[in-house]
Structure 1
Amino acid sequence: MINKNLIIYKFEKLYHILQELGLDLNFNVLFVDNEKNLNDKIKNFNNCLIITNKKYSYIDHQFVLNSIPISISKLIEKINIELLKTQFNNQSEFKLKNYVIDLNSREIFAKNIKLKLTEKEINTIIFLSRSNEPVSIDVLQEKVWSYQSDIETHTVETHIYRLRKKILNSFKDNEFIISKKNGYQIK
Protein backbone atom coordinates (compact mmCIF):
# COMPACT_ATOMS: atom_id res chain seq x y z
CA MET A 1 0.00 0.00 0.00
CA ILE A 2 1.31 3.43 -0.98
CA ASN A 3 1.09 6.00 1.81
CA LYS A 4 3.10 8.80 0.22
CA ASN A 5 1.11 11.43 -1.60
CA LEU A 6 2.32 13.95 -4.10
CA ILE A 7 -0.05 16.81 -4.79
CA ILE A 8 0.64 18.71 -7.98
CA TYR A 9 -0.59 22.26 -7.45
CA LYS A 10 -1.32 24.43 -10.51
CA PHE A 11 1.24 22.51 -12.57
CA GLU A 12 -0.92 20.48 -14.96
CA LYS A 13 1.84 19.50 -17.42
CA LEU A 14 3.82 17.80 -14.67
CA TYR A 15 0.71 16.01 -13.47
CA HIS A 16 0.11 14.50 -16.92
CA ILE A 17 3.73 13.38 -17.21
CA LEU A 18 3.63 11.68 -13.80
CA GLN A 19 0.25 10.10 -14.57
CA GLU A 20 1.79 8.40 -17.61
CA LEU A 21 4.49 6.96 -15.33
CA GLY A 22 1.91 6.06 -12.64
CA LEU A 23 2.59 2.33 -12.39
CA ASP A 24 6.31 2.86 -11.84
CA LEU A 25 5.96 5.36 -8.99
CA ASN A 26 6.02 4.62 -5.27
CA PHE A 27 3.70 7.51 -4.42
CA ASN A 28 0.17 8.65 -5.26
CA VAL A 29 -0.15 11.59 -7.63
CA LEU A 30 -3.04 14.05 -7.36
CA PHE A 31 -3.75 17.30 -9.17
CA VAL A 32 -5.24 20.39 -7.55
CA ASP A 33 -5.84 23.73 -9.23
CA ASN A 34 -7.19 25.93 -6.42
CA GLU A 35 -6.41 26.73 -2.80
CA LYS A 36 -9.69 25.40 -1.33
CA ASN A 37 -9.21 21.97 -2.92
CA LEU A 38 -5.58 22.01 -1.83
CA ASN A 39 -6.56 22.58 1.81
CA ASP A 40 -9.17 19.79 1.58
CA LYS A 41 -6.58 17.35 0.18
CA ILE A 42 -3.96 18.25 2.80
CA LYS A 43 -6.40 17.50 5.63
CA ASN A 44 -6.88 13.97 4.27
CA PHE A 45 -3.20 13.01 4.21
CA ASN A 46 -0.63 12.63 6.98
CA ASN A 47 2.25 12.38 4.59
CA CYS A 48 2.12 14.59 1.53
CA LEU A 49 4.35 16.80 -0.54
CA ILE A 50 3.02 19.64 -2.67
CA ILE A 51 4.93 20.23 -5.86
CA THR A 52 4.61 23.56 -7.64
CA ASN A 53 6.40 25.50 -10.33
CA LYS A 54 6.59 28.67 -8.20
CA LYS A 55 6.78 29.48 -4.49
CA TYR A 56 3.48 29.97 -2.61
CA SER A 57 3.98 31.42 0.88
CA TYR A 58 0.84 29.78 2.31
CA ILE A 59 1.92 26.20 1.51
CA ASP A 60 3.91 23.98 3.86
CA HIS A 61 5.80 20.89 2.65
CA GLN A 62 6.26 22.50 -0.73
CA PHE A 63 8.78 21.46 -3.35
CA VAL A 64 9.26 24.09 -6.06
CA LEU A 65 10.32 22.64 -9.37
CA ASN A 66 11.70 25.58 -11.27
CA SER A 67 14.74 24.02 -12.92
CA ILE A 68 13.23 22.69 -16.13
CA PRO A 69 14.12 20.79 -18.25
CA ILE A 70 14.96 17.88 -15.96
CA SER A 71 15.31 14.20 -16.69
CA ILE A 72 12.49 11.96 -15.47
CA SER A 73 14.86 9.87 -13.36
CA LYS A 74 16.31 12.99 -11.70
CA LEU A 75 12.78 14.33 -11.09
CA ILE A 76 11.63 11.07 -9.47
CA GLU A 77 14.79 11.00 -7.35
CA LYS A 78 14.20 14.59 -6.15
CA ILE A 79 10.54 13.87 -5.35
CA ASN A 80 11.46 10.74 -3.38
CA ILE A 81 14.08 12.65 -1.40
CA GLU A 82 11.60 15.43 -0.60
CA LEU A 83 8.95 12.86 0.43
CA LEU A 84 11.46 11.21 2.76
CA LYS A 85 12.33 14.58 4.30
CA THR A 86 8.64 15.33 4.83
CA GLN A 87 8.03 11.92 6.38
CA PHE A 88 11.06 12.31 8.66
CA ASN A 89 9.91 15.75 9.82
CA ASN A 90 6.37 14.50 10.44
CA GLN A 91 7.68 11.59 12.52
CA SER A 92 10.03 13.78 14.54
CA GLU A 93 7.27 15.95 15.95
CA PHE A 94 4.97 14.84 18.74
CA LYS A 95 2.05 17.03 19.81
CA LEU A 96 0.71 16.83 23.34
CA LYS A 97 -1.72 19.25 24.94
CA ASN A 98 -0.38 22.74 24.13
CA TYR A 99 3.11 21.40 23.61
CA VAL A 100 5.18 20.21 20.67
CA ILE A 101 8.03 17.80 21.32
CA ASP A 102 10.81 17.64 18.78
CA LEU A 103 12.11 14.09 19.09
CA ASN A 104 15.26 14.83 17.10
CA SER A 105 16.47 17.79 19.15
CA ARG A 106 14.86 16.44 22.36
CA GLU A 107 13.11 19.72 23.08
CA ILE A 108 9.61 20.61 24.18
CA PHE A 109 8.04 23.86 22.97
CA ALA A 110 5.12 25.99 24.10
CA LYS A 111 4.38 29.71 24.03
CA ASN A 112 7.71 30.54 22.33
CA ILE A 113 9.57 28.79 25.15
CA LYS A 114 11.71 25.72 24.62
CA LEU A 115 13.08 23.29 27.12
CA LYS A 116 15.75 20.64 26.59
CA LEU A 117 14.74 17.13 27.68
CA THR A 118 16.64 13.90 28.19
CA GLU A 119 15.82 10.79 26.21
CA LYS A 120 14.30 9.15 29.32
CA GLU A 121 12.13 12.22 29.91
CA ILE A 122 10.82 12.08 26.35
CA ASN A 123 10.23 8.32 26.60
CA THR A 124 8.37 8.83 29.88
CA ILE A 125 6.19 11.62 28.45
CA ILE A 126 5.34 9.61 25.34
CA PHE A 127 4.59 6.45 27.31
CA LEU A 128 2.36 8.30 29.79
CA SER A 129 0.55 10.24 27.07
CA ARG A 130 -0.37 7.05 25.21
CA SER A 131 -2.07 5.53 28.23
CA ASN A 132 -5.68 6.33 29.05
CA GLU A 133 -5.23 5.17 32.64
CA PRO A 134 -2.69 6.13 35.30
CA VAL A 135 0.55 4.19 34.87
CA SER A 136 2.07 2.55 37.93
CA ILE A 137 5.68 2.94 38.96
CA ASP A 138 6.25 -0.79 38.33
CA VAL A 139 5.00 -0.50 34.74
CA LEU A 140 7.18 2.58 34.11
CA GLN A 141 10.19 0.76 35.57
CA GLU A 142 9.60 -2.17 33.27
CA LYS A 143 8.59 -0.37 30.05
CA VAL A 144 10.66 2.83 30.15
CA TRP A 145 13.65 1.84 32.31
CA SER A 146 13.69 -1.90 31.55
CA TYR A 147 14.00 -2.78 35.24
CA GLN A 148 12.36 -5.81 36.80
CA SER A 149 9.47 -4.77 39.00
CA ASP A 150 10.88 -6.59 42.04
CA ILE A 151 13.90 -4.24 42.27
CA GLU A 152 13.61 -1.64 45.04
CA THR A 153 14.41 1.74 43.45
CA HIS A 154 13.11 5.29 43.44
CA THR A 155 14.35 6.04 39.92
CA VAL A 156 10.88 6.62 38.48
CA GLU A 157 9.73 8.88 41.30
CA THR A 158 12.96 10.90 41.11
CA HIS A 159 12.73 11.32 37.33
CA ILE A 160 9.04 12.27 37.46
CA TYR A 161 9.74 14.78 40.25
CA ARG A 162 12.58 16.41 38.27
CA LEU A 163 10.59 16.43 35.02
CA ARG A 164 7.57 18.02 36.70
CA LYS A 165 9.85 20.65 38.26
CA LYS A 166 11.43 21.45 34.86
CA ILE A 167 8.00 21.80 33.23
CA LEU A 168 6.73 23.96 36.11
CA ASN A 169 9.79 26.25 36.05
CA SER A 170 9.74 26.72 32.28
CA PHE A 171 6.04 26.65 31.41
CA LYS A 172 4.33 27.32 34.78
CA ASP A 173 2.32 24.11 34.24
CA ASN A 174 1.70 22.29 37.50
CA GLU A 175 -0.73 19.84 35.85
CA PHE A 176 1.50 18.37 33.13
CA ILE A 177 1.98 15.02 34.88
CA ILE A 178 -0.70 14.21 37.40
CA SER A 179 -0.09 11.95 40.40
CA LYS A 180 -2.89 9.49 41.08
CA LYS A 181 -3.04 6.93 43.88
CA ASN A 182 -2.29 4.16 41.35
CA GLY A 183 0.33 5.93 39.23
CA TYR A 184 1.10 8.88 36.97
CA GLN A 185 -0.93 10.26 34.11
CA ILE A 186 -0.83 12.89 31.38
CA LYS A 187 -4.28 14.00 30.26
Structure 2
Amino acid sequence: MSPKILIIFEHQILFEILDEIHKSLNFKIIKCNKNEYKNIQFDPKIDYLVISKKNITGVKNLLVLEDKIIQLKKLLEIINVNFLKNKFLKQSNIRIGKYNLDLNSRIISFKDKNLDLTEREINLIIFIYDKKDVTVKDLQKSVWDYSPDLETHTVETHIYRLRKKMNEVFGDENFILNNNSSYSIQ
Protein backbone atom coordinates (compact mmCIF):
# COMPACT_ATOMS: atom_id res chain seq x y z
CA MET A 1 0.00 0.00 0.00
CA SER A 2 1.46 3.33 -1.01
CA PRO A 3 1.75 6.11 1.57
CA LYS A 4 -0.68 9.01 1.47
CA ILE A 5 0.50 12.55 2.07
CA LEU A 6 -1.67 15.57 2.76
CA ILE A 7 0.09 18.84 1.95
CA ILE A 8 -1.33 21.86 3.73
CA PHE A 9 -0.44 24.87 1.59
CA GLU A 10 -0.28 28.19 3.46
CA HIS A 11 -3.05 27.27 5.91
CA GLN A 12 -1.49 27.35 9.38
CA ILE A 13 -4.68 26.86 11.43
CA LEU A 14 -5.73 23.79 9.48
CA PHE A 15 -2.25 22.32 9.83
CA GLU A 16 -2.30 22.85 13.62
CA ILE A 17 -5.72 21.19 13.97
CA LEU A 18 -4.77 18.14 11.91
CA ASP A 19 -1.34 17.92 13.51
CA GLU A 20 -2.98 17.54 16.93
CA ILE A 21 -4.83 14.43 15.78
CA HIS A 22 -2.23 13.12 13.31
CA LYS A 23 -1.85 9.77 15.13
CA SER A 24 -5.43 8.86 14.34
CA LEU A 25 -5.20 9.77 10.65
CA ASN A 26 -4.36 7.41 7.78
CA PHE A 27 -2.11 9.91 6.01
CA LYS A 28 1.00 11.96 6.70
CA ILE A 29 0.67 15.74 6.98
CA ILE A 30 3.15 18.27 5.58
CA LYS A 31 2.91 22.03 5.96
CA CYS A 32 4.43 24.18 3.25
CA ASN A 33 4.48 27.64 1.75
CA LYS A 34 4.96 28.77 -1.84
CA ASN A 35 8.77 28.48 -1.77
CA GLU A 36 8.79 25.08 -0.05
CA TYR A 37 6.20 23.63 -2.45
CA LYS A 38 8.50 24.17 -5.43
CA ASN A 39 11.11 21.92 -3.77
CA ILE A 40 8.79 19.00 -3.04
CA GLN A 41 9.66 15.99 -5.19
CA PHE A 42 6.65 13.74 -5.83
CA ASP A 43 7.24 10.02 -6.19
CA PRO A 44 4.62 8.69 -8.66
CA LYS A 45 3.88 5.82 -6.26
CA ILE A 46 2.81 8.22 -3.50
CA ASP A 47 -0.77 9.38 -3.23
CA TYR A 48 -0.87 13.02 -2.30
CA LEU A 49 -3.45 15.74 -1.91
CA VAL A 50 -2.80 19.48 -1.61
CA ILE A 51 -5.18 21.60 0.46
CA SER A 52 -5.13 25.35 -0.06
CA LYS A 53 -7.35 28.37 0.61
CA LYS A 54 -7.11 29.34 -3.06
CA ASN A 55 -6.58 27.77 -6.47
CA ILE A 56 -2.94 27.14 -7.39
CA THR A 57 -2.14 27.04 -11.10
CA GLY A 58 -0.49 23.83 -12.28
CA VAL A 59 -1.07 21.85 -9.09
CA LYS A 60 -2.64 18.44 -9.49
CA ASN A 61 -4.69 16.78 -6.75
CA LEU A 62 -5.74 20.12 -5.29
CA LEU A 63 -8.58 20.62 -2.82
CA VAL A 64 -9.51 24.27 -2.33
CA LEU A 65 -11.02 25.08 1.08
CA GLU A 66 -12.40 28.56 1.20
CA ASP A 67 -12.70 30.38 4.51
CA LYS A 68 -15.90 28.80 5.75
CA ILE A 69 -16.74 26.73 8.78
CA ILE A 70 -16.65 22.99 8.25
CA GLN A 71 -16.88 20.20 10.78
CA LEU A 72 -13.70 18.22 11.29
CA LYS A 73 -15.49 14.93 10.60
CA LYS A 74 -16.80 16.29 7.29
CA LEU A 75 -13.36 17.63 6.36
CA LEU A 76 -11.73 14.25 6.99
CA GLU A 77 -14.43 12.59 4.90
CA ILE A 78 -13.74 15.03 2.01
CA ILE A 79 -9.99 14.40 2.29
CA ASN A 80 -10.41 10.61 2.23
CA VAL A 81 -12.86 10.76 -0.70
CA ASN A 82 -10.31 12.84 -2.64
CA PHE A 83 -7.55 10.30 -1.88
CA LEU A 84 -9.83 7.51 -3.15
CA LYS A 85 -10.74 9.49 -6.29
CA ASN A 86 -7.08 10.17 -7.04
CA LYS A 87 -6.21 6.50 -6.55
CA PHE A 88 -9.05 5.42 -8.88
CA LEU A 89 -7.89 7.83 -11.59
CA LYS A 90 -4.27 6.77 -11.21
CA GLN A 91 -5.22 3.10 -11.53
CA SER A 92 -7.31 3.66 -14.64
CA ASN A 93 -4.34 4.43 -16.87
CA ILE A 94 -1.08 2.62 -16.16
CA ARG A 95 1.37 2.53 -19.04
CA ILE A 96 2.93 -0.90 -19.67
CA GLY A 97 5.16 -0.48 -22.71
CA LYS A 98 2.86 0.49 -25.57
CA TYR A 99 -0.23 -0.73 -23.71
CA ASN A 100 -2.62 0.97 -21.31
CA LEU A 101 -3.62 -1.07 -18.28
CA ASP A 102 -6.79 -0.17 -16.38
CA LEU A 103 -6.70 -1.84 -12.96
CA ASN A 104 -10.25 -0.74 -12.18
CA SER A 105 -11.83 -2.51 -15.15
CA ARG A 106 -9.04 -5.11 -15.53
CA ILE A 107 -8.52 -4.31 -19.21
CA ILE A 108 -5.31 -3.93 -21.18
CA SER A 109 -5.64 -2.00 -24.42
CA PHE A 110 -3.74 -0.79 -27.44
CA LYS A 111 -5.30 1.49 -30.02
CA ASP A 112 -8.87 0.21 -30.50
CA LYS A 113 -8.32 -3.32 -29.14
CA ASN A 114 -9.06 -4.43 -25.58
CA LEU A 115 -8.35 -7.58 -23.63
CA ASP A 116 -10.00 -8.57 -20.35
CA LEU A 117 -7.54 -9.83 -17.76
CA THR A 118 -7.84 -11.77 -14.54
CA GLU A 119 -6.58 -10.27 -11.30
CA ARG A 120 -3.70 -12.76 -11.30
CA GLU A 121 -2.71 -11.74 -14.84
CA ILE A 122 -2.70 -8.09 -13.80
CA ASN A 123 -0.51 -8.87 -10.77
CA LEU A 124 1.80 -10.89 -12.98
CA ILE A 125 2.13 -8.10 -15.58
CA ILE A 126 2.72 -5.36 -13.01
CA PHE A 127 5.27 -7.40 -11.06
CA ILE A 128 7.27 -8.37 -14.15
CA TYR A 129 7.11 -4.83 -15.58
CA ASP A 130 8.16 -3.14 -12.32
CA LYS A 131 11.00 -5.54 -11.50
CA LYS A 132 12.27 -5.88 -15.11
CA ASP A 133 13.94 -9.34 -14.87
CA VAL A 134 12.20 -11.83 -12.60
CA THR A 135 12.66 -15.53 -12.09
CA VAL A 136 9.98 -18.18 -11.68
CA LYS A 137 10.92 -18.37 -7.99
CA ASP A 138 10.40 -14.57 -7.64
CA LEU A 139 6.95 -14.89 -9.18
CA GLN A 140 6.07 -17.91 -7.06
CA LYS A 141 6.97 -16.03 -3.92
CA SER A 142 5.60 -12.57 -4.71
CA VAL A 143 2.60 -13.19 -6.96
CA TRP A 144 1.47 -16.65 -5.83
CA ASP A 145 2.72 -16.66 -2.21
CA TYR A 146 4.23 -20.10 -2.77
CA SER A 147 7.34 -21.34 -1.09
CA PRO A 148 10.31 -20.81 -3.42
CA ASP A 149 11.24 -24.46 -2.91
CA LEU A 150 7.92 -25.75 -4.21
CA GLU A 151 8.16 -27.44 -7.61
CA THR A 152 5.25 -26.27 -9.75
CA HIS A 153 4.57 -25.21 -13.32
CA THR A 154 1.83 -22.73 -12.38
CA VAL A 155 3.91 -19.69 -13.33
CA GLU A 156 4.94 -21.07 -16.70
CA THR A 157 1.34 -22.09 -17.44
CA HIS A 158 -0.02 -18.63 -16.62
CA ILE A 159 2.67 -16.91 -18.68
CA TYR A 160 2.00 -19.24 -21.60
CA ARG A 161 -1.74 -18.48 -21.48
CA LEU A 162 -1.17 -14.74 -21.12
CA ARG A 163 1.25 -14.71 -24.06
CA LYS A 164 -1.32 -16.62 -26.11
CA LYS A 165 -4.08 -14.13 -25.26
CA MET A 166 -1.85 -11.14 -26.07
CA ASN A 167 -0.89 -12.72 -29.40
CA GLU A 168 -4.50 -13.51 -30.34
CA VAL A 169 -5.81 -10.00 -29.59
CA PHE A 170 -2.82 -7.75 -30.32
CA GLY A 171 -0.61 -9.95 -32.51
CA ASP A 172 2.19 -9.47 -29.97
CA GLU A 173 4.33 -12.59 -29.62
CA ASN A 174 6.95 -10.73 -27.55
CA PHE A 175 4.89 -9.19 -24.77
CA ILE A 176 6.62 -11.25 -22.08
CA LEU A 177 10.19 -12.08 -22.96
CA ASN A 178 12.08 -15.07 -21.57
CA ASN A 179 15.87 -15.09 -21.51
CA ASN A 180 16.46 -18.60 -20.13
CA SER A 181 16.40 -17.75 -16.42
CA SER A 182 14.07 -14.76 -16.16
CA TYR A 183 11.03 -12.97 -17.60
CA SER A 184 10.70 -9.31 -18.61
CA ILE A 185 8.26 -6.90 -20.27
CA GLN A 186 9.67 -4.07 -22.37
TM-score (norm 1): 0.63
Match of 2:20 in 1: 23
Following superposition, the deviation at residue 177 of structure 1 comes to 0.4
Match runs of 1:29-108 below 5 Å: 29-33=30-34, 38=37, 40-41=39-40, 43=42, 46-53=46-53, 58-66=58-66, 68-86=68-86, 95-108=95-108
For residue 48 of structure 1, give the secondary structure of its aligned residue in structure 2: strand
Q: Which consecutive unaligned segments of at least 5 residues does structure 1 have?
A: none
Moved more, 24-33 or 54-63: 54-63
Task: Provide the C-alpha distance between the structure 2 equivalents of 1:63 and 1:4, rounded to a whole number of angstroms.
Answer: 15
| CA shift in 2, pair 1:95/1:38, >3 Å | farther
Report the residue type matching 1:64 in the other structure. V
Match of 2:174 in 1: 175
Please tell me whether Structure 1 or Structure 2 has the larger radius of gyration of its CA atoms.
1
Question: RMSD of the TM alignment (CA)?
Answer: 4.0
Task: Provide the C-alpha distance between the structure 2 equivalents of 1:130 and 1:91, rounded to a whole number of angstroms.
Answer: 15
TM-score (norm 2): 0.63
Q: Which consecutive unaligned segments of at least 5 residues does structure 2 have?
A: none
Aligned residues: 175
Is 1:129–1:186's contact at 8 Å kept on the other side of the alignment? yes
The percent identity for this pair of structures is 36
- 1:129-151: CA deviations, max 9, x gaps? 35554534x7756753959526x
Report the residue type matching 2:79 in the other structure. I
Following superposition, the deviation at residue 113 of structure 1 comes to 5.4
